[in-house]
Amino acid sequence: MSRIGKQPITIPQGVKVEIQGTHIKVLGSKGALERDIRPEIEIKQQDNDLLCTPKGTSKRVMAFWGMTRSLVSNMITGVDQGFTKKLVVEGVGYRANIADSIITLNVGFSNAVAFTLPAGISAVVDKDNSITLQGIDKELVGLTAAKIRDIRKPEPYKGKGIRYINEHIVRKVGKAGGKK
């Protein structure tokens, strides 16, 4: 039995949920999200709660139960509050600029790298070279942050590169530090 799947999802004020078979649509103050859920999982609305129930007891169905509940919960949180990811650009001469929906990154390559933000994602570049991504779709915000980080991953010697704000880079001793 799924510990996550059996928990009810509370619908906050101002959020509207429409369920049509295996299609769920969530409308809120920040926007609207839609998703097709697995046919093995049934979602019912009771007052201000959503309940997910499996249509079977196989291991596969039980795996989808908790995942479906988490996806629907993230949709409701997204249209109500939104999601944020923060990245830090570290290194001498490493910079990030934004114009329209294109982030220009100068991160040690001979040419600047232009990254186009997908629809539904907004970004802000602060003076301390940090990039703040915002959106209502948790999957899309996380995927966009991972793609930006992949442009120049942090290296272990000086820590230069693009990293998440709470990411800890394990430093290695350089060539000179190893001799004694």
Domain ranges of the chain: 9-80, 83-164
Residues 168-179: tens digit of each pLDDT: 999 988 887 666
> What's the pTM value of the predicted model, to 2 decimals?
0.89
- As a 3-state breakdown, the chain gives helix, strand, coil percent values, each rounded to 5, of 20, 35, 40
Q: Regarding the domain with residue range 83-164, which homologous superfamily does it belong to in the CATH classification?
A: Ribosomal protein L6 (3.90.930.12)
Contacts 24+ apart (CB under 8 A), 106-115: 107/151, 107/152, 107/161, 107/162, 108/152, 108/160, 109/152, 113/151, 115/147, 115/148, 115/151
Q: How far is CA 57 from CA 54, 62, 68, in A?
A: 7, 6, 15
| Mean pLDDT along residues 41-46 | 92
pLDDT of residue 65: 92
Q: What is the reported pLDDT for 174?
A: 81
Section 106-128 average pLDDT: 95
Per-residue pLDDT reduced to its tens digit, 79-105: 999 999 999 999 999 999 999 999 999
CA-to-CA distance for 116 and 108, rounded, in angstroms?
19
Angle between helices 138-151 and 59-80 in degrees, nearest 10 = 90
Helix (H) or strand (E) holding 164: strand 161-164
Which is the CATH superfamily of the domain at 9-80?
Answer: Ribosomal protein L6 (3.90.930.12)
Res. 180: pLDDT tops 70? no
9-80 and 83-164: same fold? yes
